[in-house]
């Protein structure tokens, strides 16, 4: 289906495609807005985001998980169900196509849903962990999540370690928990070495990841921002497109790869 854009948006798409074609090291930073078209709620949207219904430090913090894991899992269950049933949308597929064509060097994502990998992306740096695995809170054994989280999503049964019986924690970063060090160093290296950074579906409100585009800009990189709402860096971007990523990214990929 062909999407009709305004003249201004079409010009922005063409400019973004020109930047992609001229870039040697393009890096994409993605946030929750990239996965909302796949049915996964974001965190901060007015009235619909997860934090409009719950206080994050009460349900999704490391201290809550340690003291009352059942409270975390009660909050997490609907989200786990949505993630298990989600499929990549056209934005994920467009980024995978650009990567396959050599136009995207890496994707830095704040998302935990593994939809980039499902779409075919190979180089994905997960800043907030992912739903692929769980780790035991006592003996630290790591297990694949599907055999545990699928029954949990369906029945609410809290997953326990097959080895020692302790509670298993999804390998996602909770409030009060440090970012994975290897991923953070890798993301900073990509931001500092890229000549084009694309922010897609992120409001750039969560530090320290929200500071990565500044590291790119400070070293002379171009910046494209595609998001439904404005960010603190829109004033410094070469291209700003305040529209749905699931429509815009496929259009940019089409223009970049096929003219």
Catalogue the active-site residues.
Answer: 128
Look up residue 162 and give its two tokens.
């097959």
Residues contacting 174, CB < 8 A, separation 6+: 60, 61, 62, 64, 65, 72
Q: Which two tokens stand for residue 67?
A: 């003291």
Beta bridge partners, 169, equal 135
Does residue 209 contact residue 194 with C-beta atoms inside 8 Å? no
Q: Please give the structure tokens belonging to residue 70.
A: 């059942």
φ, ψ of residue 26 in degrees (nearest 5): -85, 135
Find the radius of gyration of the CA atoms of the chain: 19
Q: Do strands 168-172 and 129-136 pair parallel, antiparallel, or not at all (unpaired)?
A: antiparallel
């Amino acid at each position: 289906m062909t999407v009709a854009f305004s003249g201004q948006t079409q010009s922005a798409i063409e400019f973004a495609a020109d930047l992609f074609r001229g870039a040697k090291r393009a890096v994409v930073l993605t946030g929750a807005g990239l996965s909302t078209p796949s049915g996964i709620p974001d965190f901060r949207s007015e009235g619909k985001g997860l934090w409009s219904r719950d206080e994050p430090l009460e349900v999704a913090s490391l201290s809550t998980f340690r003291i009352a894991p059942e409270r975390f899992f009660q909050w997490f269950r609907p989200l786990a169900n949505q993630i298990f049933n989600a499929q990549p949308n056209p934005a994920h597929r467009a980024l995978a196509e650009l990567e396959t064509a050599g136009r995207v060097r890496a994707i830095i994502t704040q998302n935990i849903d593994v939809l980039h990998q499902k779409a075919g992306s190979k180089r994905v740096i997960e800043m907030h962990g992912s739903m692929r695995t769980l780790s035991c809170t006592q003996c630290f054994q790591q297990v694949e999540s599907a055999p545990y989280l699928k029954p949990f999503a369906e029945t609410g049964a809290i997953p326990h370690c097959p080895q020692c019986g302790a509670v298993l924690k999804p390998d996602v970063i909770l409030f009060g928990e440090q970012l994975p060090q290897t991923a953070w160093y890798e993301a900073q290296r990509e931001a500092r070495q890229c000549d084009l950074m694309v922010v897609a579906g992120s409001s750039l409100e969560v530090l320290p990841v929200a500071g990565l585009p500044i590291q790119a800009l400070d070293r002379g990189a171009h910046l494209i921002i595609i998001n439904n709402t404005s960010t603190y860096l829109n004033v410094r971007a070469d291209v700003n497109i305040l529209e749905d990523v699931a429509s815009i990214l496929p259009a940019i990929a089409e223009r970049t790869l096929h003219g």
